[in-house]
Chain A
Amino acid sequence: MTPRRAGRPLVPAYLSTGGVARPSRGSLERLSVLTRTDLARTDPVRSAASAPAELSAAQHALLDALGGGSLTVVEAAVLLELPVSAIRVLADALTDQGLLRARPPVPVSDLPDYDLLKRVADGLRALKH
């Protein structure tokens, strides 16, 4: 088992979401892919001074992290040092504002089809040395 990170996070998880406990949409999985929208890109959200006032620090941090490219929910949680549950709340709120887009880990029609399993098996075999 991996030892816990020493100390407590500076901001408790429930404060990161402004006290919001449940995600507004509630469909995000651990491997859902989060991407900033063009709206977020053209908006100068990276600069705190000119950012829309309604965005919280944690929401900013999430958008910031997505500036480098798409992230899964779980990897965003690691980067922001927040629980997965907090990322769900933050990401749903940003999606509601049109600043973020989320897609499921696998296109729904494909899961978990034969062809995909074959690709996983072949991919793993190709890594052996």
Chain B
Amino acid sequence: MASAPSSTSGLRRPDSGPHLPDDARHLVKILVAGPFGVGKTTLIDSVSEIKPLHTEEHLTEASVAVDDLAGVRDKTTTTVAIDFGRISLGGGVVLYLFGTPGQERFRSLWAEIAYGALGALVLVDTRRLDDSFGVLGLVEETGLPYAVALNVFPDARPYTDEQLRGALDLEPGTPMVTCDARDTNSSLDALITLVQHLIERKDA
């Protein structure tokens, strides 16, 4: 688990309420994707100007996300909490980060949250590489451009980049960086790597 005490964002704005500034014209989102316990909320917390919030999303008995309320009354439903944070970037641009679990059973919820996203930062715990395969599959299926951030845990075995790229089956052009999700600057660097990758794809 991402067990270390979660640091609070160095970017927190205590006066920042839920209402949008009048000049907010471009609301963009990036998915922070990864398996349970990899540190998604920690990363969001480390850069968000608001304390990360969450919405409850309904999943039906069949573990299919419902995008409307049909059937919710009759069926046994479970909910999953989707965390999000926010960063105002100036010039009317507001970036939202959505923590998105990677399990197959969240597939339709995934598609809905991914709609319109700029890209995804896939958080990987190198002690549990297998857990990330499902997430990577979903991201690739959605067609979202992505970068991989290795959330470094103290007891992780030291793999080489080549070993990790091989194990995760990454394309040569997919950025892979290490990241301490508790650290504001480190999380910002990982996000910048992703956005730079998105820019370079446009250039190409």
Whether the Cβ atoms of A70 and B20 lie closer than 8 Å is yes
- A residues with CB within 8 A of B: 1-5, 12-14, 17, 20-23, 29-31, 33, 68-72, 74-75, 77-79, 83-86, 88-89, 105-107, 110-112, 114, 116-129
- A2-B81, A106-B26 are known contacts. Are A31 and B69 too (CB-CB below 8 A)? no
Q: Complex formed: what's the CA distance from A13 to B52 in Å?
A: 22
Q: Complex formed: what's the CA distance from A120 to B121 in Å?
A: 15
Per DSSP, are chain B's interface residues mostly helix, strand or loop, or mixed?
mixed
Most buried by B among A33, A74, A114, A124: A124
Whether the Cβ atoms of B116 and A111 lie closer than 8 Å is yes
Whether the Cβ atoms of A21 and B113 lie closer than 8 Å is no
CB distance from B184 to the nearest CB of A (A): 8
Whether the Cβ atoms of B41 and A1 lie closer than 8 Å is yes
Q: Which residues of A contact B115 (CB under 8 A)?
A: 29
- A17-B69, A129-B185 are known contacts. Are A31 and B18 too (CB-CB below 8 A)? no
Q: Complex formed: what's the CA distance from A112 to B116 in Å?
A: 8
What are 9 contact pairs spanning A and B, CB under 8 A?
A2-B54, A4-B56, A13-B69, A22-B68, A31-B96, A83-B69, A85-B68, A121-B196, A124-B192
For residue A35, which residue of chain B has the nearest CB? B20
Q: Which residues of B contact A124 (CB under 8 A)?
A: 87, 89, 95, 188, 191-192, 195
Q: Which residues of B contact A3 (CB under 8 A)?
A: 81
Q: Which residues of B contact A71 (CB under 8 A)?
A: 18-20
B4 lies within 8 A of chain A by Cβ? no
For residue A66, which residue of chain B has the nearest CB? B19
CB distance from B72 to the nearest CB of A (A): 5
Query: Besides the contacts A1-B36, A4-B81, A116-B26, what 14 more A-B pairs have beta carbons closer than 8 Å?
Result: A1-B41, A2-B54, A14-B73, A30-B112, A31-B116, A71-B20, A72-B27, A86-B69, A88-B68, A106-B27, A106-B116, A117-B202, A124-B191, A129-B184
